[in-house]
Amino acid sequence: MNGSQAHYRAFELNWHSYGLAIPELPSCSVDALAGADPLIAIEPEEPNCWPELEPGPHDTPFLQMARGDLRLTVDDIGCFRITGGKRIAWHRLHSGVSDQDISTFLLGSAVGALLIQRGIFVLHGNALEKDGKAIVCMGHSGAGKSTLAYALMQQGWRLLADDLVAVSPDGLVLPGIPRIKLWHDAAKAFGLDPDRLPPIRQGMHKYLLMGDALQRAPQSAPLQAMYLIHQHRPDAADPDAGQISRITSQKTAALRLRNQAFRPRFVRGLGQEGPNFMALAMLQQRVPLATLPLPQGITAMQSWLQEQDLLMAAELVTV
């Protein structure tokens, strides 16, 4: 869509993208853009006009960071520069890189960096809504966050945000990116036909569910509970292993929550640790954090979830 432009709404921000369609984001007309909310620009740009950054203590060969400026290179795919919490510049590294390749990494990393630059507290997980209230399910890469989110959607929950969960200072989860990514085997286990789903990128066996394929919650919702996913092993020695357990120790909760922040390296490299720490402390006081022992296997997980009241469970269960 070279030369074209599109408008989107997410995280209570207005997004204006030039030259790149981002079908995962909810689109809106220019007239519908909420006037008072900030406008974020997403634009193609040649990286040779990007000023050199002094090496930072948290840089890696793929990431350079300074206050208000983050550079990300995805080998053979693209470069991104995110500045001032206002702008994402992108560049494709060769003509074989598709728009979808760019938007995959733009949504996954660049948007997260921009939110962090704006001082927004971002958790790495999925947010779901029911009866106007939200829960967040967190876990490291591969822990089964998306599978859990889809299972919950089968039980009446609506998707509020995937991957990046932005929480406002007053404890509201902002509506984020309304899509989830399911692996081939998980899609099949849910009875979906992977051949009829768009892959996240050409040739990959991981698929996008968005638009009509899921129920999304369009309004922000107060965060009621936070859950840490861990795969429950039936042979585990701990008799409480199958129970939702609230983490009551302030210190443990703070450490666990810190580890679930979206890309702590970005937070440090962008000099946002201070505001982030304050947000984390407030959130921890306000919202219970509990571990969610998910049974292995989708059928077992679905029936286990049916017996849980996730809006209340974290608050009630103490160990």
Q: Which residues bind another protein (CB under 8 A)?
A: 55, 57-63, 72, 74-77, 104-105, 108-109, 140-144, 146-147, 163, 181, 183-186, 200-201, 203-206, 233-238, 258-259, 263-266, 268, 296
Give the Cβ contact number of residue 263 at 10 Å: 19
What's the min distance (Å) between Cβ of 266 and another protein?
7
Beta carbon nearer to another protein, 3 or 191: 191
Structure tokens given for 41: 């620009």
What's the min distance (Å) between Cβ of 75 and another protein?
5
CA end-to-end distance (rounded Å), the chain: 55
What's the min distance (Å) between Cβ of 197 and another protein?
13
Beta carbon nearer to another protein, 255 or 278: 255
Beta carbon nearer to another protein, 83 or 224: 83
Phi, psi of 196 (to 5 degrees): -100, 5
What's the min distance (Å) between Cβ of 185 and another protein?
4
Structure tokens given for 226: 């936070």
**Mind giving me the DSSP string for 267-311?**
HHHTT-HHHHHHHHHHHHHHS-EEEEEEESSHHHHHHHHHT--TT
Facing residues of 6 across strands? Answer: 17
What's the min distance (Å) between Cβ of 214 and another protein?
18
Give the separation between CA 301 and CA 148, rounded to whole angstroms. 8
Q: Answer whether 201's CB lies under 8 Å from 181's CB.
A: no
What's the min distance (Å) between Cβ of 233 and another protein?
7
What's the min distance (Å) between Cβ of 203 and another protein?
7
Beta carbon nearer to another protein, 174 or 261: 261
Structure tokens given for 72: 């990300």
Beta carbon nearer to another protein, 236 or 316: 236
Contact partners, residue 72, CB within 8 Å, separation at least 6: 62, 63, 79, 80, 82, 105, 109, 110, 113
Contact partners, residue 125, CB within 8 Å, separation at least 6: 136, 137, 138, 139, 145, 163, 165, 260
Sign of CA dihedral 54, 55, 60, 65: negative
Beta carbon nearer to another protein, 101 or 129: 101
Beta carbon nearer to another protein, 67 or 140: 140
Beta carbon nearer to another protein, 164 or 225: 164
What's the min distance (Å) between Cβ of 131 and another protein?
30
Residue whose C-alpha is closest to residue 106's, from 203, 12, 25: 25
